[in-house]
């Protein structure tokens, strides 16, 4: 590499930071978005919210079907990443993500490749028992895309 090329690379690196600073003037300029491409881990489950009726003073009314009921769908998505081990071999690691959606997810099947776009939400539980559990989940914006997703990318060679 000649002197001019090295100088150009140093100058470019100095001008292009790894993260960009935004001028923040309003709270609406903050951004929380995640995109996952992975495989469905288990059948989605539907958790129905009790429907309240105005005529009966707020008593719970019965709903027969998940497609017409108000509630939330939950399922998991597995994503893979590759890294080099201490021995120099490529190792695949799987991360599991909890997905929550207010749209009908009954057509998803385990192993199906999906693209999920949403935002990360954090919650904690167990305050009454004394053991605090901190966890996160992804709240999907839309129905996960299941078409036009390519085949799995092979792991890199050494």
pLDDT of residue 2: 58
Residues 41/120, Cβ–Cβ less than 8 Å: no
pLDDT of residue 147: 52
Q: How far is CA 64 from the centre of its chain?
A: 30
- Per CATH, the homologous superfamily of domain 32-140 is Nucleic acid-binding proteins (2.40.50.140)
Whole-Å CA distances, 111 to 41, 91, 129: 6, 21, 36
pTM: 0.60
Q: What six digits make up the tokens of 96? A: 């599991």
Beta strand residue intervals within 11-69, DSSP E: 34-40, 45-48, 51-52, 60-61
pLDDT in tens, the chain (158 residues): 555 555 655 555 555 555 556 665 555 567 788 899 999 999 999 999 887 655 545 444 444 455 556 889 999 999 999 999 999 999 999 999 999 998 899 999 999 999 999 898 887 776 666 677 667 788 887 766 665 455 444 444 54
Domain boundaries, the chain: 32-140
pLDDT of residue 38: 93
Secondary structure (3-state) at 155: coil
pLDDT of residue 141: 79
DSSP 53-118: -TTTTSPEEP---TTTS-EEEEEEEEEEEEEE-TTS-EEEEEEEEEEEESS--TT--TT-EEEEEE
């Amino acid at each position: 590499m000649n002197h001019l090329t090295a100088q150009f690379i140093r100058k470019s690196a100095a001008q292009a930071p790894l993260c960009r600073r935004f001028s923040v003037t309003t709270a609406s300029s903050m951004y929380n978005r995640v995109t996952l491409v992975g495989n469905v881990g288990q059948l989605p489950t539907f958790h129905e919210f009790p429907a309240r009726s105005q005529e009966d003073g707020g008593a719970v009314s019965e709903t027969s079907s998940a497609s017409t009921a108000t509630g939330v769908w939950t399922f998991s998505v597995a994503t893979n990443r590759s890294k080099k081990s201490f021995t120099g071999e490529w190792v695949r690691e799987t991360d599991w993500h909890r997905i929550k959606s207010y749209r009908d997810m009954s057509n998803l099947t385990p192993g199906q490749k999906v693209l999920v776009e949403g935002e990360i939400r954090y919650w904690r539980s167990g305050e009454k028992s004394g053991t605090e559990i901190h966890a996160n989940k992804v709240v999907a914006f839309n129905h996960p895309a299941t078409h036009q997703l390519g085949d799995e990318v092979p792991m890199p060679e050494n």
